[in-house]
Chains A and B, each alone.
Chain A
């Protein structure tokens, strides 16, 4: 969905490096999410934010941090990358205005930690 963009799309980094993944949306949604996807494990929620001043941990937040700089921007940081953080990372947005939490996903960032 072009309304949710992620940068970079691919990144190779080394163990111990700090890395930031960025997500921007033009949908005007209040809610934003970061997921990681690993083969056979489905999507796992890392962090989520329901508005600019709200940050919540998901099921696998250890080793990650986030920043909600504006309604439209939600960044995910790996403070000190390790190889088992190699995965496909997705940002998503949603808006409960219509009473359902339908989510809209970005194209993903493929991260490799060597």
Chain B
């Protein structure tokens, strides 16, 4: 399967702490994207990092990409209860016409 895998599958932290989620994938990519899903709702795009980029920031989000290790991490700083959601990585694989989503990981931020 070309599917990315998020790690850990579930993470529970206190409000104010940082949350780090990892994604590993298997093929060469054009870019990697992170999405958030609130319970039972549609996914929302958070951030995209291209294969020639190593780090990107957006607000409280920081994403890194290591193409040699085929891995990415998403860091949410100063977490809030509203960050409680499932997070998915998705890879835009070279030679493929479509995104491939991982199985997702659940983040719980306790107030």
Residues of A within 8 A of B (CB): 1, 4, 33, 35, 40-43, 45, 48, 50, 56, 58, 88, 90, 92, 100-108, 110
- Among B30, B43, B102, B104, contact of A103 (Cβ-Cβ < 8 Å): B43
* 22 contacts across the A-B interface (CB closer than 8 A): A33-B98, A40-B103, A42-B88, A42-B102, A43-B43, A43-B101, A45-B98, A58-B98, A90-B43, A92-B42, A92-B43, A100-B31, A100-B33, A100-B48, A100-B50, A103-B35, A103-B43, A103-B99, A105-B42, A105-B43, A108-B41, A110-B40
Q: Is the CB of B45 within 8 A of A103?
A: yes
* Cα of A43 to Cα of B88 in the assembled complex, Å: 9
- Among B40, B45, B99, B104, contact of A108 (Cβ-Cβ < 8 Å): B40
Cross-chain pair count, CB within 8 angstroms: 55
* Cα of A105 to Cα of B37 in the assembled complex, Å: 10
* Cα of A104 to Cα of B33 in the assembled complex, Å: 12
- Could you say which residues of chain A place their CB within 8 Å of the CB of B42? 1, 4, 90, 92, 105-108
**What DSSP secondary structure best describes chain B's contact surface?**
strand
Residues of B within 8 A of A (CB): 3, 30-31, 33, 35, 40-45, 48, 50, 88, 90, 92, 97-99, 101-104
Q: A58 — nearest CB in chain B belongs to which residue?
A: B98
- Could you say which residues of chain A place their CB within 8 Å of the CB of B3? 42
**What DSSP secondary structure best describes chain A's contact surface?**
strand
Q: Is the CB of A42 within 8 A of B101?
A: yes
Q: B9 — nearest CB in chain A belongs to which residue?
A: A40
Q: Is the CB of A48 within 8 A of B103?
A: no
- Could you say which residues of chain B place their CB within 8 Å of the CB of A105? 42-44
> Which 9 interchain pairs have the tightest Cβ spacing?
A105-B42, A42-B103, A43-B101, A105-B43, A107-B42, A102-B45, A101-B92, A106-B42, A42-B104
